[in-house]
Amino acid sequence: MRLAVMGVGAVGRAVAELAGQYGHDVIGLADSTGAAMGDPLDIEEALARKQETGVVGERPHEELLAADYDVLVEATPTTLGDAEPGFSNAAAALSRDRHVVLANKGPVAERYADLRAAVEESAGELRFEATVGGAIPAVRTVEDLGPERVDRVRGVLNGTANFVLTRMAAEGLGYDHVLAEAQELGVAEADPSFDVDGTDAALKGVIVANVLREARGEEALSLADADVTGIDELPTSALSLAGEDGRTVRLIVDASASGVRVGPRLVPENGTLAVTGTQNIVQIETGHAGRLNLSGRGAGGAETASAVLADVGRLPPR
C-alpha cells in the first residue's frame, strides 16, 4: 500500500523506516513544520533533514493530505478535547475514501462518535491498534472475539507509571526520587504528568470502552467520563504495606461497556497483573473464551509501529 505518514515523532519515524520491510511505500511524511513528498519518498533524506534542520519538508501538509495514498497513518501527538490536528487529518483522508490508521489516541478517545460518522460516509476503513498497549494486539483480539462478547478489559497500560511503581516497591524509594531516575533513563518524559496522573492510561481505557459500547449500540465516552486517580500522590508506605501482605500496587485500567476506572490498585505480587518495569498487560474477560492475558512492550517507536503496520496489513486493498 501507499502510506502518507502524519507526525514525525518516534512512532511516525519508525513507521516510515519499517514500512518497506512490510511491502509498503511511503509517499509522504509531514509534521507541523511541513511535508516531504516523493514517489516513493526518500525516507532517509527526509528524516536526516528533520534531524539537522528541524524541518522535515517545505511543502504545506495539506498537499500531503490531498496526495495519492491508500492509507493515512496519523501519528501526530495526542491532544485532548477537539483532538486536533489528528481528528481533521483523519477526517480529511476518510472524506477522500482513504483508509486511516491511528497511532494518535486523541480522536478515538475524545471524538469517537465524530470519527465513526466520518467512517460511515467513507469507503475507507479506520484502525487504531497502536493506540492501546503498543505492540500488544489488544484491539484486534477484542475484534476477533467479538466486542459484544467481551465483558471487561483490565490492564496496566502505562509503562512509565509502572516503572515508577516497580522501582518504588523494589527499592523502597520515594516517588520524586524514582521519577527523577526515570527521567534520566528516558523512561519518563520531561513533563510526565499524563503518565503519572493516569490520563494516558484513561485514554486507552476509554478507547476500549468505546469499542465495547459501539458493539452494544451505546454512545461513545470521552476522557471526561472516566474516573481517574494517578500515582503521583502515592506514598512509599502504601507499597511497603502491600509488600508485607504479598501484594503490590499497580495503576490499573478497568474498562467495560458501563465505564472506565483508572487508579492504583492492590494486586498479588506474583499475579498476572503485576508486570514489572515498562511492560504492559491487557486482560480480556469473555464468556466463552474465559480470560485472556496479553502482555508485552506497551510503548516504543518500533513496537508501536509494528501495531500500525499490522493494522495496515489487515486493510482491504483500494
Residue ranges for the binding site for NADPH? 105
Cell, residue 260:
472506565
- Which of residues 22 and 125 has its CB atom nearest to a copy of itself in the complex? 22
Residue 60 or 271 with smaller CB distance to a copy of itself:
271
Which of 40, 286, 315, 318 is close enough to bind a copy of itself by CB under 8 A? 286
Closest CA to 134 of 311, 280, 274: 280
For the CB of residue 297, give the shortest distance to a copy of itself in the complex, in Å: 4
CB 157 within 8 A of CB 132: yes
Site string for a copy of itself, 134-153 (x = CB under 8 A): -xxx--xx--xxx--x----
Is 91 or 169 the residue whose CB approaches a copy of itself more closely? 169
Q: Which of 163, 164, 99, 170 is nearest to 298 (CA)?
A: 163
3-state percent breakdown (helix, strand, coil) of the chain, nearest 5: 45, 20, 35
With respect to a copy of itself, which residue has the nearer C-beta, 110 or 129?
129
Q: Is 204 a catalytic residue?
A: yes
Residue 256 neighbours by CB under 8 Å, 6+ apart: 151, 152, 153, 209, 212
**In whole angstroms, what is the distance from residue 312 CA to residue 58 CA?**
27
- The nearest distance, CB 239 to a copy of itself, in angstroms, is 18
100 grid coordinates: 486511516
Name the 3-class secondary structure at 55.
Answer: coil
Contacts with a copy of itself in 203-262 (CB under 8 A)?
A: none
Q: Which residues are annotated as a binding site for NADP(+)?
A: 7-12
The stretch near a copy of itself (CB under 8 A) out of 100-108, 115-123, 257-265, 284-292 is 284-292
CB atoms within 10 A of CB 189: 12
Cite the annotated binding site by residue number. Answer: 7-12, 105, 189
Pick from 53, 96, 103: which is nearest to 76 by CA?
A: 103
Residue 203 C-beta: closest distance to a copy of itself, Å: 21
Task: Give residues 291-310 in contact with a copy of itself (rule: CB under 8 A).
Answer: 291-297, 300, 302-303, 305-307, 310
Task: Give me the catalytic one of 13, 24, 204, 213.
Answer: 204
In the chain, count H helices and then E strands.
13, 12
Query: For residue 300, how many other CB atoms are within 10 A of its CB?
Result: 16
**Which residues are near a copy of itself by CB under 8 A?**
14, 18, 21-22, 135-137, 140-141, 144-146, 149, 270, 272, 286-297, 300, 302-303, 305-307, 310, 313-314
Active-site positions read 204
